[in-house]
Chains A and B, each alone.
Chain A
Amino acid sequence: MPKITWVLDGGREISANVAVGHNLMEAAVANNVPDVIGECGGCLSCATCHVYVDPAWAAKTGKPGEMEDDMLEITTAERREMSRLSCQIIATEELDGLILHVPHI
């Protein structure tokens, strides 16, 4: 199970091992990561699962898909180059060690 770390605004870190195949919004909610809400349950309709991928991991997480890219228009915190909707990032072994920065909303 890959280990994922969420770095909150302010610096606190939360780490958890996430089952392969689960998306990182549901993993964040299951681990009480504040500010990752996931109102639509991961179906690309709310943008409340917005995170910034740590630049070191950009190649492994890849780019947002077309619909995700459009939905990034309505994030609460500002959209940046590393913005992703975490419900669209699926846990794989390759993501072991991944760091996600969570904007405060």
Chain B
Amino acid sequence: MAAPIILLGAGQASASCAAKLRALGYDGKLTIVGEEPAAPYQRPPLSKKYVSGELAVERLFIRPLSWYGEQQIDLRLESHAVALDPAAHLLTLADGSKLPYSKLLLATGSTPRSLPSEIGGRLGNVFTIRNLADADAIAPALKPGAKLLVIGGGYIGLEAAAVAAQKGLTVTVIEMAERILQRVAAAPTSDFFRALHQSHGVTIRESTGLAELLGADNRLTGARLKDGTIIPADLAIVGIGIIPNDALARDAGLAVEGGILVDGQCRTSDPDIFAAGDCAVFAWRGARTRLESVQNAIDQGEHAAACLLGAAPDYDPKPWFWSDQYDVKLQIAGLNRGYDSTVLRPGKRPLSQSIWYFQGDKLIAIDAMNDALAYALGKKALEAGRSPDRAALADPASDLKTVLA
């Protein structure tokens, strides 16, 4: 009998790929191998409603456990893959077992960057957030009155800061760059979130480098900043970016460059090995692209399913993303890479506005804060390749539907 298709990594991309394979009529053997104890689940709530205690764990799962049986998917959890032999079509697990595959999808996700142990990165009460286990370790430490230091002002760190501030912790965010969200957003978006956090009592310190974390008896007590200031802290959350999980691919001799290199067909440098999700890098609009989002995990996972079964058109993502902080919902459509100007459009509600990113006259992305209409209409315009007139866009009295028509 033919060897199964194996999807490695039991996360968002594999779950989407598996569902799509079955929907496309693949009725052969299908195995998902993942190292975590849990079936595929949604990560976004980990830094939002799950860590705050508002959402129970059962509600995180992408599919009920019974679904895998019904779909005849062999779900192998707590199985860590340690080696890959492309020539022999074999995947080796930590327990020594070797799994033959006909085709393989690498959907291994990514790992948060951590601080080196020389500067206190391994102290107790210093956390990163990627897995359920991380969120479960952090939740009990979010006690009112405790002092939280968030290192890195990206989305995950700011979401954690918001949850903690609402629980009554004293929160300080330090950001090495000139402004929070610098890597992912334009200055008006940073300004909006800085003011939002400050209004909730969070201290935001930008252009601020960390010298070291301080601790006694392996427990964090605070941090020394590059300027010499000492900030006392009971716990720290480190959100300084992620590293794609590409080691297995690299060791197997596959092409790897800041992620597992794939073509528009999700194919790696080996014809029977594919990759999708956080771990995959692909060429898009003339540049190497690696997206870290649910949108990409789902769409590229589904795209990989089509490619595993035959040819498909090249993957052409329509990126979107969201973040929830306090009572603000940020929705992002498009990718702002390479923008040269922005237009700010005030919203109709309190704390609502949208930032429109342009490259020349071409609209390339939108950040909408509490403005779902701007997000929805903007997303439509992006997908249709329409670019609005900037002056009309900036005028809050203009009708957005007309401006974007």
Footprint of B on A, CB under 8 Å? 22, 26, 29-30, 32, 39-41, 43-47, 66-68, 70-71, 73-74
Contacts of A22 in B (CB 8 A): 59
Contacts of B322 in A (CB 8 A): 40, 43, 45
CB contact list, B314-368 vs A, under 8 A? 320, 322, 324, 329, 331, 349
- Segment from B137-145, B239-247, B376-384 that makes contact with A: B376-384
User: Within the complex, which residue of B42, B45, B64, B380 is in contact with A30, where a contact is CB–CB below 8 Å?
Assistant: B64
CB of A39, distance to nearest CB on chain B (Å): 6
The reply to whether B294 and A40 form a contact with Cβ atoms under 8 Å apart is yes
B-chain residues with CB within 8 Å of residue A46 when the two chains form the complex: 320
Residues of B within 8 A of A (CB): 42, 44-45, 59, 62-64, 67, 70, 294-295, 298, 320, 322, 324, 329, 331, 349, 370-373, 375-377, 379-380
Q: Could you jot down 6 A-B contacts, CB within 8 Å? A: A39-B298, A45-B320, A47-B376, A66-B372, A73-B376, A74-B380
Q: Which residue of B lies closest to A29 (CB)?
A: B63
List residues of chain A with CB within 8 A of the CB of B63: 29
Q: Which 8 A-B pairs have the closest CB atoms?
A: A70-B372, A70-B373, A73-B376, A45-B322, A67-B372, A74-B376, A41-B42, A30-B64
- On whether the beta carbons of B329 and A43 are closer than 8 Å, the reply is yes
The distance from the CB of A42 to the nearest CB of chain B, in whole angstroms, is: 9
In contact, B331 and A26 (Cβ under 8 angstroms) = no
Could you say which residues of chain B place their CB within 8 Å of the CB of A45? 320, 322, 329, 331, 375
Contact of A71 among B59, B70, B372 (CB under 8 A): B372
CB contact under 8 A between A41 and B376, given known A22-B59, A30-B64, A67-B329: no
B44 partner residues in chain A, CB cutoff 8 A? 40-41, 43
Interchain CA distance A74-B331 in the complex, whole Å:
13
Return chain A residues, CB-CB under 8 Å to B295: 39
| B373-A73 in contact (CB<8A) | yes
| A73 touching B59, Cβ below 8 Å | no
Complexed CA–CA distance, A32 and B324 (Å): 27
When distances are taken between beta carbons in the complex, the residues of chain B under 8 Å from A26 are 59
A residues within 8 A CB of B67? 32
Assembly CA distance A40 to B329 (angstroms): 12
Which residues on B sit within 8 Å (CB–CB) of A73?
A: 373, 376-377, 380
Once bound together, how far apart are the Cα atoms of A47 and B324, in whole Å?
Answer: 17
Is the CB–CB distance between B294 and A32 below 8 Å? no
Q: Which residue of A lies closest to B60 (CB)?
A: A41
Across the interface, B324 reaches (CB within 8 A) one of A30, A43, A66, namely: A43
Report the minimal beta-carbon distance from B85 to chain A, rounded to whole angstroms.
35
